[in-house]
């Protein structure tokens, strides 16, 4: 077939290198699927409908949007604030795990 003893080690190295690359690519693809399933998703029911969710000063979504579309986040600990005009703000500490978490918040109105 034309392979001599001198070329055999090089052919073997090329074969093993190619096999290793394919194995690493397959493992990377499998890891991506696993990580996608590890996403935490937060679905919130906020009253009043004008409510908004913040993390620090960063706006994350409105009550209407967060009621219909879960917010994708990495699992872990989070501090949120729910605010609405003419209502007391509500601070919230959540430990999110992979999967869907549902939270309902009803803000208290500020007395007039």
What pTM was computed for the model? Answer: 0.66
Handedness of CA 14, 18, 19, 20 (dihedral sign): positive
Cβ contact 62:84 at 8 Å: no
Closest to 82 in 3D by CA, of 60, 101, 111, 100: 60
Q: What share of the chain is helix, strand, coil (3-state, %, to 5)?
A: 30, 40, 30
Q: Please state the rounded mean pLDDT for residues 49-59.
A: 95
Cβ contact 61:52 at 8 Å: yes
Digit-coded pLDDT (tens) for 5-42: 555 555 544 454 444 445 555 555 555 444 556 899 99
């Amino acid at each position: 077939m034309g392979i001599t003893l001198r070329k055999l080690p090089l052919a073997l190295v090329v074969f093993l290198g190619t096999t290793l690359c394919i194995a690493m690519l397959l493992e990377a693809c499998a890891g991506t699927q696993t990580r996608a399933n590890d996403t935490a998703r937060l679905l919130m029911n906020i009253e009043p409908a004008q409510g908004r969710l913040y993390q620090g000063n960063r706006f994350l979504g409105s009550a209407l949007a967060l009621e219909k579309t879960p917010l994708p986040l990495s699992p872990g600990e989070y501090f949120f604030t729910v605010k609405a005009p003419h209502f007391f703000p509500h601070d919230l500490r959540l430990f999110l795990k992979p999967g869907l978490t549902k939270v309902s918040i009803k803000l208290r109105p500020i007395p007039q």
